[in-house]
Amino acid sequence: MAPETDKLADPVFAERYRAMSARDARFDGQFITGVHSTGIYCRPSCPAVSPKPTNVTFYLTAAAAHEAGLRACKRCLPDAVPGSPEWNVRDDLAARAMRLIADGTVEREGVPGLAHRLGYTPRHLGRVLVAELGAGPLALARAHRAQTARLLLAGTELSITDVAFAAGFTSVRQFNETMADIYRTTPGDIRAAAKGRPAVRSHPGASRAASLTLRLPARAPFDGAAVLGFLAARAVTGVEVGGDGAYARALALPNGPAVVSLSLGGTDASPHVVCEATLSDVADLAPLVARIRRLLDLDADAQAIDEALASDPALAPSVAAAPGRRVPGAVDAEEILFRALIGQQVSVPAARTALARLTDALGEPVDLGGFTRLFPTARQIAEHGREVLRGPAKRIDAIVDTARALATGELVIDVGESREELEARLLALPGIGPWTAGYVAMRVLGSPDILLTSDLVIRQGAAKLGLPSEARGLAEYGARWAPWRSYAGMHLWRSSQA
């Protein structure tokens, strides 16, 4: 058998090669095309002449392509695309590690810290990542730093030195060597080649602080108005504000508070989100971008999800009316847990009132972009929550006890958890039931296959579509929507409001 025929006999390779040959943009970010005859790697939609199968290797990560000695294509910029949806769809060790790496864990805690978060030794973690993704944790983090640096070079006027340290490099020399190795050019040349870049304004007297505007690409189709509307409807006074296709908030990042404002841009075929951010420390840019992408679910494979859900005649009209529906995520895992605990069994307006009262009393005061508070921390709620919270004593006990468990480290919630582990830890706590555990897993982890059958609004939406509205019947019917039940739930939510 000829080498080309042999490669194409592999169904995974054949599928990816067809997508690459068709220059199908919906696969951008889902895999990378390594072309060994030219020594470069590209996004699947690169307009260059399609290489022969014998010269091609497909990779899941840019880091794996770097490890194979390839450099990034200057024509298609393969790192300027939506990320892979695999890290939400998958819930294994490799996917959990990728979520933490994107959040900057290696830069803050090193590989030992990453391994500890995941519950494995650094050696075992390295073996798994190399086997699954073609690169170890250091290489994956290095690729992520390089992508962040290119974003800063192309989109800001920060000095080269500031870009280096903001992206997580330990020295300018290391930064220059990495950029030359990956992009085969200098940081100055990357900046010079960027066109139409927005300016960054550095704050006087705070060399690490900055305000900047970025474009975050979304995978089409993208119902951005709906996800921003979801967030705006639940905005907590003093912390958030939203409306008319925009959403803004104050949030805590690893190196200090920040403010971010989000609005929609681009076209239906190539949507993006305009992200205007003011950071206390520009080193927080990478975790900010990762969290905003998760908040808006920008990397979801919307076309595949819509095709699967539209195959059910009951959901097809909703999918046609609102293609690219997203599942809102989180910028702070602990905040989502407290929102769920305070919001369960009450209306959205009542939850907003309670959360605003709690935030006004306990949240750290800030003066950033018109915002006055940060959402209170678990420690603040554990120490003073009883003075502010109202309602049944058992409900208050559950909230305060959960806050105490988070503050002491007895309970840990972050994007590095698996759904099974996270839900089990939550359900073990008094006052937390399946709805709360599922809702938190869906929003914190981006889990795509959770149907909240006990949710009243979802059941009302199901009834409007002629589907079973009783929890057990809806669960049985909803099994046909796997593995996209979270997205089906968003369509049911939409139907309840129609």
Catalytic residue among 79, 103, 281, 455: 455
Query: Tokens 């970025």 — which residue?
Result: 214
Query: Tokens 């409001």 — which residue?
Result: 497
Measured distance CA(272)–CA(217) in Å, rounded: 4
Tokens of 259: 């403010």
Q: Which amino acid is at 237?
A: T
- Which of helix, strand or coil describes residue 92? coil
**Catalytic (active site) residue 275:** no
Tokens of 300: 């979801």
What are residue 239's phi and psi, to 5 degrees? Answer: -110, -35
Measured distance CA(55)–CA(34) in Å, rounded: 8
Q: Which helix (H) or strand (E) holds 325?
A: none
Measured distance CA(140)–CA(64) in Å, rounded: 8
Query: Tokens 């550095």 — which residue?
Result: 202
- Which of helix, strand or coil describes residue 50? coil
Task: Answer yes or no: are the C-beta atoms of 308 and 484 closer than 8 Å.
Answer: yes
Q: Which of 81, 31, 75, 78 is nearest to 57 (CA)?
A: 31
Task: Answer yes or no: are the C-beta atoms of 121 and 115 closer than 8 Å.
Answer: yes
Measured distance CA(172)–CA(268) in Å, rounded: 40
Q: Which amino acid is at 474?
A: L
Q: Which residues pair with 494 in a beta bridge?
A: none
Q: Which amino acid is at 122?
A: P
Q: Which of 128, 70, 134, 53 is nearest to 97 (CA)?
A: 128
Measured distance CA(472)–CA(461) in Å, rounded: 15
**Catalytic (active site) residue 455:** yes
Q: Which of 137, 88, 28, 168 is nearest to 41 (CA)?
A: 28
Catalytic residue among 6, 28, 42, 181: 42
Query: Tokens 């030794």 — which residue?
Result: 121
Q: Residue 379 to residues 12, 111, 351, 407, 443: CA-CA distances in angstroms? A: 48, 27, 21, 5, 22
Q: Which residues are catalytic?
A: 42, 455
